[in-house]
Structure 1
Amino acid sequence: MGCVKLFENYLPKRPYHTDDLVSGLKINKKEKAKFARLVQPNGPTHRYWMVFDLDRSNAGMHWDDVGAPAPNLIARNPANGHAHLLYLLQTPIRTAIDGKTAPLRYAAAIEAALRNLLGADRGYSGLICKNPINSHWIVQEWESSPYTLDDLADYIDLTPEKAKEKPVEDYGLGRNCMLFDELRAWAYKAIRQGWPDYNQWLNACLDRAIGYNVNFSTPLDISEVKHTAKSVAKWTHRNFTRGTFDDYVARTHTSEIQAFRGSLNGKSKRLKGIDMLASGATVNQVSQELQVSHRTVYRWVKKQ
């Protein structure tokens, strides 16, 4: 199956689309939206394509000049040569926070490094792209097979271990990581202010998430923000209750917290870590005190 057909298959059920950005974006069923000049390639919960925007006359072959991997698809403007380069992922990255965070962070580091290698537009939001189904664009298929993250990482000398050392960037998938980290850190403490019911808490998380999102140089689409807010709200409301917190506080005093944690010999490190997070400790503090990696602490959070 060709990559253009795969592009069509992986389109969201109701993607954003338009023939003219001046007239604004519309939302329709895929069967109608797929014929537009510009269309949304990825939904709010899964990333099938990494898309890069090159505003240069030789965009169609620039990837080869800089030693980047061959795109699966290139959709090029016949008037000026500017193009969108599309890389298909063999395993889509789940951007909703109930997915695994390690692949998301690895993918974010790869995406940022490829953007730098290609010299792609940092301001490109990734929400919509030149539609390779539409005959308005000059479309080329260079690579027929989808890429694994490791395949792409080979071109930029980036291993999962090196990716963990790199700070998350305010670009592409990095925004999903940053939004989750900031929202979760706030939620662990804020939920204790009145113990709201779920609908109140969901609205509070959404308001906070929107506030964080507008500070990104290129904000995420609101649908992605809503998915992240719902994920954080659901987990914290289920796990951080007045009863569990009061029980924890009843057994500890601020000056005795360190001693109490050391006395929990019967508890696993994971449960100790959850207790610490519930009391307001950061991921970094939990990692240092329990001598575990940040990745392990994030995994404890996700499994609750």
Structure 2
Amino acid sequence: MYKYPFAEAVGKRYLDPNSSNRVWAMVFDIDRPQASMAWDDAMLPEPNWTCQNPENSHAHLGYALAVPVSRSINSLRKPQALMARVEHAMSTALGADPAYGHRFTKNPLHPTWRTFYGRGSGYDFEELRSYLPDHLPLIRNRGEAIGEGRNVLLFTDLRNWAYRARLRFPSLDAWLRGCFEKAQAMNSQFHAPLPLSEVKATAKSVAAWTWDHMSPEKFAAIQARRSAKASVLRQSNKMDLTARMLGASI
């Protein structure tokens, strides 16, 4: 992966339509004849562009978003999770390649490809959801995660692991290495692993937060609060049971 100025990047055969921190478009890789009409076969809305390989008719279908979704490590997780679920459902409906990395795509401006332009404005998720099943699956299996779903799942799984593992590491350096190694192991389970830079950023963010918020002292305080709440709840339940028993005996 190389970064080029815009004027130079648009001359390449392949490029990433999204920036490092924002998703502006979702792209799907269709590896079969008549791929350019896969959206119509799946009863999905028309892509903003279709970039076809003239030699085998395989194609990339691009859907621009009306509002980009931030995917930085500090961004809100709900928009990312919604995008991941919509992207996965659309990929399934299109019969798109699940191993596609959803980063580099055929450049629609390059003469190598045959490009068809469709709708001129971007889509919002509510409109896209109207073409999909009512209940979009929440993907928990790393082997099934695609596109932005990989980022969401890596962050969620690594965070859940870090909550339990934090107290096993005596130093920050050891903890940073431990989180990165665990993130790498999780990433290797995706069909199309995330770039190393994204894995490092996720591991660093999770490690920094859990190191600051899950120290032995803070963990003990959390456990004490939970124990106190549980004690109050048990006492309240006993009082309710006693009241019901007295009421039944009158």
**If the TM-score is normalised by the length of the shorter chain, which range does it land in?**
0.7 to 0.9
Say whether the 8 Å CA contact 1:96–1:231 is kept in structure 2: no
Which of 217, 221, 230 aligns to 1:262? It is 230
Q: What does residue 179 of structure 1 align with?
A: 154
- Aligned partner of residue 109 in structure 2, secondary structure: coil
Q: 1:189-214 deviations in whole A, cap 9, x for unaligned?
A: 222123422x4433322221111100
- Aligned partner of residue 116 in structure 1, secondary structure: helix
- Aligned partner of residue 168 in structure 2, secondary structure: coil
Q: What does residue 84 of structure 2 align with?
A: 108
Q: CA 1:61–1:242 in structure 2 vs 1: closer, same or farther (change >3 Å)?
A: same
Q: 1:191-242 deviations in whole A, cap 9, x for unaligned?
A: 2123422x44333222211111001122112222122112212221221223
**Cα distance in structure 2, aligned partners of 1:51 and 1:245:** 43
Which stretch of structure 1 is more off in the superposition, 124-133 or 228-237? 228-237
Q: What does residue 80 of structure 1 align with?
A: 56
- Aligned partner of residue 56 in structure 1, secondary structure: coil
Normalised by the length of structure 1, the TM-score is 0.69
Equivalent positions of 1:1-304 (< 5 A) are: 16=1, 26-158=2-134, 162-163=135-136, 166-168=138-140, 169-197=144-172, 199-248=173-222, 251=224, 259-262=227-230
User: What is the letter of the counterpart of residue 148 of structure 2?
Assistant: L
Say whether the 8 Å CA contact 2:176–2:203 is kept in structure 1: yes
Say whether the 8 Å CA contact 1:195–1:242 is kept in structure 2: no
- Aligned partner of residue 75 in structure 1, secondary structure: strand
Say whether the 8 Å CA contact 1:76–1:84 is kept in structure 2: yes
Say whether the 8 Å CA contact 1:57–1:82 is kept in structure 2: yes
**Cα distance in structure 1, aligned partners of 2:15 and 2:219:** 47
Aligned length: 230
**Cα distance in structure 2, aligned partners of 1:206 and 1:213:** 10
Question: Offset at 1:27?
Answer: 4.2
Which stretch of structure 1 is more off in the superposition, 179-188 or 31-40? 31-40
**Cα distance in structure 2, aligned partners of 1:234 and 1:175:** 21
Q: CA 1:263–1:44 in structure 2 vs 1: closer, same or farther (change >3 Å)?
A: farther
Say whether the 8 Å CA contact 2:169–2:175 is kept in structure 1: no
User: What is the letter of the counterpart of residue 229 of structure 2?
Assistant: R
Say whether the 8 Å CA contact 1:39–1:128 is kept in structure 2: yes
- Aligned partner of residue 60 in structure 2, secondary structure: strand
**Larger Rg belongs to:** 2
Q: What does residue 242 of structure 2 align with?
A: none
**Cα distance in structure 2, aligned partners of 1:110 and 1:102:** 12
User: What is the letter of the counterpart of residue 172 of structure 1?
Assistant: G
Normalised by the length of structure 2, the TM-score is 0.82
Across the aligned residues of Structure 1 and Structure 2, the Cα RMSD in angstroms comes to 2.3
RCO higher in structure (CA 8 A, sep ≥6): 2
Say whether the 8 Å CA contact 1:44–1:227 is kept in structure 2: no
**Cα distance in structure 2, aligned partners of 1:78 and 1:223:** 34
Which stretch of structure 1 is more off in the superposition, 45-54 or 59-68? 59-68
User: What is the letter of the counterpart of residue 155 of structure 1?
Assistant: Y
User: What is the letter of the counterpart of residue 112 of structure 1?
Assistant: H
Question: Offset at 1:263?
Answer: 5.1
- Aligned partner of residue 167 in structure 2, secondary structure: coil
- Structure 2 residue runs without a partner (length 5+): 234-250
- Aligned partner of residue 19 in structure 2, secondary structure: coil
**Cα distance in structure 1, aligned partners of 2:203 and 2:6:** 26
Say whether the 8 Å CA contact 1:69–1:152 is kept in structure 2: yes
Question: Offset at 1:142?
Answer: 0.3
Question: Offset at 1:109?
Answer: 1.4
**Cα distance in structure 2, aligned partners of 1:208 and 1:193:** 14
